[in-house]
């Protein structure tokens, strides 16, 4: 029997969840709700990362198309 266990996203005391830039490790702040496909821009190096997975959150740098 399969039980769908839904993990509440609002267990954090803060309204924002911090992840790190894959390029320079600068903390990025994503406003909730965090969804797959959301784009986070790094304030330090300017690179953009896309949320590819949530729970746990995983981001991957966006590559600029030529």
Binding site for Zn ion (CB under 5 A): 21, 23-24, 26, 42, 44-45
Q: Which C-beta is closer to Zn ion: that of 18 or that of 26?
A: 26
Q: How far is the CB of 61 from Zn ion (least distance, A)?
A: 9
Q: Which C-beta is closer to Zn ion: that of 9 or that of 18?
A: 18
CB count in 10 Å sphere of residue 44? 12
- Phi and psi, residue 29, nearest 5°: -110, 125
CB count in 10 Å sphere of residue 43? 11
Q: Which C-beta is closer to Zn ion: that of 9 or that of 44?
A: 44
26: its two tokens: 């600068």
């Amino acid at each position: 029997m399969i039980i769908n266990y839904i993990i509440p996203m609002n267990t954090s005391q803060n309204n924002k969840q911090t992840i790190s830039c894959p390029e320079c490790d600068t903390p990025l702040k994503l406003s909730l709700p965090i969804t797959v496909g959301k784009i986070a821009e790094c304030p330090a190096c300017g690179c953009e990362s896309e949320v590819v997975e949530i729970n746990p959150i995983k981001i991957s740098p966006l590559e600029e198309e030529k």
